[in-house]
Structure 1
Amino acid sequence: MCYLYNVESQNTKGPGHSRSLEVPPVRVLLFILATFLGFVLLELWLYWQSKDKPLQLGLWDLIFWGLLIFWSVRVEVRLPLNAGMSQLFLFALALVVLTPPWVAPLAAFLAQWGGSAWYKEFFNRSQDGLATAIAALVWILAQENPLYLGRWDLSDGVGIAAAAFSFFAVNSSLVAFVIHLDSQTPLREIWRRNMGWVALSYILLSPLALLLARAYETPLLGGWGGWTVLFFLIPLYYSRFYWDEKVRLEEAFDTTLELLMNALEAKDPMTRLHSERVADIARDLARKVKDGDEAYAQAIYRAARLHDIGKIAIPEAVLLKPGTLTPEEFALIQSHTTKGAELLSPARKVAFDQLVYNVILHHHERWDGRGYPKRLAGHEIPEEARIVGLADAYEAMTAGRPYRKAKTPEEALREVQELSGHQFDPRLVEAFTELWEQNPIWRDRHAYLAAKEGSVSRSTSPQRSSASASPSPSEPGPRTSEE
C-alpha cells in the first residue's frame, strides 16, 4: 500500500474556487519542497551511479508499467484524516527489480494524475518518488551483499522485503507528517486511523512485487510476461476491495455511534456532549494506564460513547426529575446499565465486543462493592468499566445536574481523590491526577464545550441545585456521578 495525501482540501473557499489557486500553509509548502528536493537529489545520485547499466526494458515495456502505476493510484482507497491508500508500491518495487535504480523512482513521480489540489498532487509525486528511490537503494545493497543459508541464496527475498519495509517507512512517515502539519492532528492518531491496521499486510504482500517482476521476465502466457502480470491484478483488486470495505465498515460503525448518542441527547439535552467528554477523558486515562496502547484507548473511547445508552429506555419524567427520587424511581434509573446491555445485545460479537458490554453494564460499580448492578468490588470490576466510571463521575461533577450545582474542576478533583479506595480504583485516581495536572482540554467543561462547538454559553450547563436532592442509595454521601 502506498499512502497518499490527496483528499480534497478542506480550505476551499467556495464552489467557484479553483483548486489551482489553493495555497497551503507555509509550513506545509516548505515540507513539500523539502520532500521534492530530497527526491531530486537521490534520483540524480542513483542515475550517476548506474548510468552505465543497460535499460533492458523497451519503450512499450516502460509504458506498460507506467500504466499499471497510473491505474493503481486511480483506484485508491480513501482513508480518514486527509489520506488515501493505493497499490502503487507493488508495481514500483517490481520495476526496481527489472530496471536500473533510477528508472522506478522517475516512473513513480511521472505516472500519476489525480484530482487533488496542486500542492497535494506535487507532494504525492515527490514522496512516491523518494520512497521508491530509497527502496531501490536498499535493493541494490541487498544485491551487492548476498545472503546465503547453506546453499540457498536469500538475497532476492530479503532484499525485496527490506525494500518494501523502507518504502513503507518513508511513505507512511512523510504522508503522516504532512497531514499533521496541515491539520494539526496528532501523529499517533493519524497512524492509528490510517496506517497501523494495514502495516503487516503491507510487508506480507512484498514478495508479490518480486513475483510480478520474475513473471514479466519469464512469460508464462502468450509469450509476453505482461499477461501474467495482468492475471495477478485480479487478486490485487480484491485485496483493494477488502481494504475499501474495512474503511467503510469503520465509517458505518462511527456513524452508528453518533446516531445512538444523538438519540440519547435528544431525549436528555441536559447531558449535552456528556458522553463525548466522558469518552475523551476515558481514552486519555486508558492510554495513561496502558503505557500508550492506542488500540485499547480507542476501544475504551468507543465504549464510553455508549455507556449511558440504556437511558433511552428510561421515562423522561424520571430521567429529568429535579427533585428527590422515590426508591422505585431510583431503581429505574439504576436499570439503565442492564437495559443498555440488553439494547445492544443483538450486535454482540458483530459490531460490539465484550469490552463495550462491560463498560455499559459495570460503569456504576464501586471499588468498595457498594455500586450497581452486580455490587462487584475491587478487581472484580472490569478495568474498562473502572476507567469509564471515573471519567463519568468527574464529568458529572463538573457539569452539574438538576439536583445539585456543578463543581469547579479543582473541587471535582479533590472529591475524586477523597473517594480513592472507596468509589474509585486508587491506581486510576493517581493516573487521573497526573493527567489533570497537565491541563487537558476536558479538565474544564466550558473550555471543552467551547472547543467542540465554537461558542458556548454557561447557560448550557445546568447550574441549579435542589434543596430536596438526596444522596444516592448506593453511596454514603452526596452524589458524585449521575445515576
Structure 2
Amino acid sequence: MMVVPRSARVLIGCALLAAAASTLPALLPGAHTPWRTVLLLAALSALCELPARHPRAARALGGPAEGPAPGPGSFFAVLLAAALLLPPSAAALTALPGALLAPVERPPAAPRRAWRAAQLALAVWAAAHVGQFLQCPGALGRGPDTPDFPYVLLPTGATALTFCLVLTALDGAIRATAEQLPARAAWRGLLGRSLAPHAVHGLAGLMTAVLWRSSYGPVAALFVLLPMYISCWGFAQYHRERAAHQATIRALVQAVDIKDRYTRGHSERVGRASLLIARELGMDEPRLEVVRFAGILHDVGKLGVPTRVLRKDGPLTPEERRIIELHPEYGHEMVRGIAFLGEARTAILHHHERMDGSGYPYGLKGHQIPEYARVVAVADAFDAMTSTRSYSRARPVGTALAELERCAGSQFDPRMVAALGRALRRHGWQTEVTADETTVPAPRAPAARPGPAPAPAAPAPGREARAAGPQPARPQERA
C-alpha cells in the first residue's frame, strides 16, 4: 500500500494525538513516575524486537537471516506486565520504543510505525486504567508479601481483555480506512483469533509482575520472559515456514496457469471445492490443509506436457492423448521431494483413477484409490463443468451435480459426490471466466444428452476425451 488514503491518515493522526495525551501526564513535573521501572520495561520490550531488526541476531538465535521474527504482535507479556505494575500514563510509555523498532514489511514505513506506536500506547493505557480500577497493584503484593490469589486473576483477566479489545478495535478501524473495506469485513474474525493468545500473554504478564514486585526484583522476571519469548519465536518460525509453503505452491500454480492459459484459475477453484468436500466429511484441520494442497496442485504435471499439446485446437491424436495422460505421473515426480505435501502427493498421482477401474495411470478400483484422490476427482470434474472457457460454456451448478450423481459409483465415489452436494447447498458456488478472452464464443458443438455409451459418460478432462472422439455429456477441460 504505497499511498495512504486520506481517511487512514486522519485516523493515524487522531490516534497519535490520543497517544500523546495518554502519555503526557507521566512527563509532567510532580508526576512521581517510577522511571526506573518504566525504562527497564521499555528496554525489555525493545530488546524483544532485536532479532527481527538485525539478521545477525536472528541467526544467533537459530533463525533465518531474512524475514521478520516475532515482533510486538506476537509478544505482549512485557506490555501487559507494565499495565499491571505502572500507572496508565507511565505504562503507555513502555510501548513506544518496541513499537518504533518493530520491522515494517511493506512501505510506507513511517505511517506504519507511527500507527503501531499509537495503537500499542493506547491499548496499554486503557488496560492499565482497568487494572488500577480493580486495584491490581495492591493485589500483586510487594517484597515478602504474597500476591492476593485468586483475586489477582480478576484484574489480570480484565486487563488482558481490555488490551485485546482496544487492539482489535483499532486493527479493524485501520483496515476499514486504509484498505477501504466494509466495516463488517474489516473486523470479521479479529477478536476470535486474538482472545486465546492475549489470555496466555496476560498470564505471563501476571507472573512477570509478581516476580518484579517480589523481594527477588526485576531479574527474576526474566525467568518467565525468556521461555515465553522462545516459545513465541518458535511460533513465529512455524508461521514463517507455512508462508514459505504457500509461496512454493503459488509459484507452481502460477507456472501451470502461464503454460495452460485455457484453465487459468482452475487449480485454485479445485482446491476450494476439495476443501468444501473435506469439511463436509468431517476431516480435521491438518487433513483439510493437505486436501487443499492436493486440489491446488492436482494439475502441476502439466508442466511436463509440451505446450503445443496443451494449447492445440481441435482433437488430439492417440499419441497426444497418451502424452496428456502422463501428467499425473509427471506431477507426482515433481512434488515427490516436497515433504510438507504428505498425502497430497498420492492425490496428484491418482486423481484420474475411476471407481470402476477404467481410469489412469494405474487403473485402481474403489477404495484402492486414496481418499484424497477421490475428493479431488469430484472437485476437478465439478469445476470443469461449471467454468466458462474459451472453448465451452459453463453448465449450471445443478446440472453439473446431476451429472456427478449419474456417474457416482462408476467414476466417482458416491460419498464424495454427496458431500459436495451438501456443501454447495449450504455455501453456494461462484463460477468465474477462466480463459484469457473477455467474451466467450459459443461451443463448437452442442453437448449430447446423457445416454448409453460403451464406457461411463462421466465428466473427464476434455483433452483426453476429445482424443478418443465424441463423448456424451462430458465437460470440456484441458488436462
TM-score when normalising by structure 2 = 0.66
The 3-state SS of whatever aligns with 1:346 is coil
1:419 to 401, 404, 410: 404
* 1:479 partnered with 2:460: no
Paired amino acid for 1:254: Q
For 1:212 and 1:464, how far apart are their aligned partners in 2? 70
Task: Report Cα offsets for 1:164-191 as digits up to 9, x if no partner.
Answer: 3442343245324522542257988998
Paired amino acid for 1:394: D
Partner of 1:104: 91
Instruction: Evaluate the alpha carbon distance shift between residue 272 and residue 245 of structure 1 in structure 2; reply closer, same or farther with a 3 A threshold.
Output: same
Contact 2:388 2:432 in 1 (8 A): no
Shift of 1:143: 4.9
For 2:376 and 2:313, how far apart are their aligned partners in 1? 28
Q: Let me know the Cα RMSD of the aligned residues.
A: 5.3
Bigger Cα displacement from structure 2, 64-73 vs 250-259: 64-73
Paired amino acid for 2:118: S
Task: Report Cα offsets for 1:49-70 as digits up to 9, x if no partner.
Answer: xxxxx96x63233222233334
Contact 2:127 2:159 in 1 (8 A): yes
Shift of 1:75: 5.6
Task: Report Cα offsets for 1:287-331 as digits up to 9, x if no partner.
Answer: 984899998776554332211112334455654554545666545
Shift of 1:103: 3.1
Shift of 1:261: 2.6
Shift of 1:445: 0.5
Give the length in aligned residue pairs. 425
Partner of 1:389: 378
1:135 to 113, 127, 133: 127
The 3-state SS of whatever aligns with 1:419 is helix
Bigger Cα displacement from structure 2, 315-324 vs 247-256: 315-324
Paired amino acid for 2:371: P
Q: Structure 1: which 5+ residue stretches go unaligned?
A: 1-9, 13-22, 48-53, 450-455
Contact 1:471 1:477 in 2 (8 A): no
The 3-state SS of whatever aligns with 1:113 is helix
For 2:299 and 2:186, how far apart are their aligned partners in 1? 26
2:37 to 37, 61, 77: 61
Instruction: Evaluate the alpha carbon distance shift between residue 178 and residue 98 of structure 1 in structure 2; reply closer, same or farther with a 3 A threshold.
Output: same
2:332 to 335, 341, 348: 341
Instruction: Evaluate the alpha carbon distance shift between residue 58 and residue 430 of structure 1 in structure 2; reply closer, same or farther with a 3 A threshold.
Output: closer
2:200 to 179, 188, 204: 204
Paired amino acid for 1:99: L
* 1:91 partnered with 2:78: yes
The 3-state SS of whatever aligns with 2:246 is helix
* 1:24 partnered with 2:5: yes
For 1:136 and 1:123, how far apart are their aligned partners in 2? 20
2:179 to 170, 177, 183: 183
Partner of 1:303: 294
* 1:264 partnered with 2:251: no
Partner of 2:392: 406
Contact 1:109 1:128 in 2 (8 A): yes
For 1:127 and 1:336, how far apart are their aligned partners in 2? 51
Shift of 1:85: 4.2
For 1:189 and 1:282, how far apart are their aligned partners in 2? 27
Task: Report Cα offsets for 1:357-385 as digits up to 9, x if no partner.
Answer: 35424444567876555555599873685
The 3-state SS of whatever aligns with 2:171 is helix
Q: Structure 2: which 5+ residue stretches go unaligned?
A: 26-30, 55-65, 140-146, 447-461
The correspondence of residues 237-256 of structure 1 with structure 2, limited to 5 A, is 238-256=230-248
Contact 1:286 1:297 in 2 (8 A): no
For 1:254 and 1:166, how far apart are their aligned partners in 2? 34
TM-score when normalising by structure 1 = 0.66
Contact 2:86 2:128 in 1 (8 A): no
The 3-state SS of whatever aligns with 2:341 is coil
Shift of 1:407: 1.0
Paired amino acid for 1:207: L
For 1:374 and 1:188, how far apart are their aligned partners in 2? 47
Contact 1:261 1:305 in 2 (8 A): yes
Instruction: Evaluate the alpha carbon distance shift between residue 413 and residue 359 of structure 1 in structure 2; reply closer, same or farther with a 3 A threshold.
Output: farther
The 3-state SS of whatever aligns with 2:100 is coil
Instruction: Evaluate the alpha carbon distance shift between residue 136 and residue 258 of structure 1 in structure 2; reply closer, same or farther with a 3 A threshold.
Output: same
For 1:474 and 1:155, how far apart are their aligned partners in 2? 79
Instruction: Evaluate the alpha carbon distance shift between residue 158 and residue 333 of structure 1 in structure 2; reply closer, same or farther with a 3 A threshold.
Output: farther
For 1:431 and 1:310, how far apart are their aligned partners in 2? 28
Task: Report Cα offsets for 1:376-435 as digits up to 9, x if no partner.
Answer: 55998736853663355424663447xxx311454x653443433425614413543665
Contact 1:143 1:155 in 2 (8 A): no
Task: Report Cα offsets for 1:208-265 as digits up to 9, x if no partner.
Answer: 3223223333364xxxx34445676654554454344334323322221133234434
Contact 2:354 2:364 in 1 (8 A): yes
The 3-state SS of whatever aligns with 2:405 is coil
Task: Report Cα offsets for 1:434-483 as digits up to 9, x if no partner.
Answer: 6557xx4xx2306xx7xxxxxx5448x89774899856879972432444
Shift of 1:95: 1.6
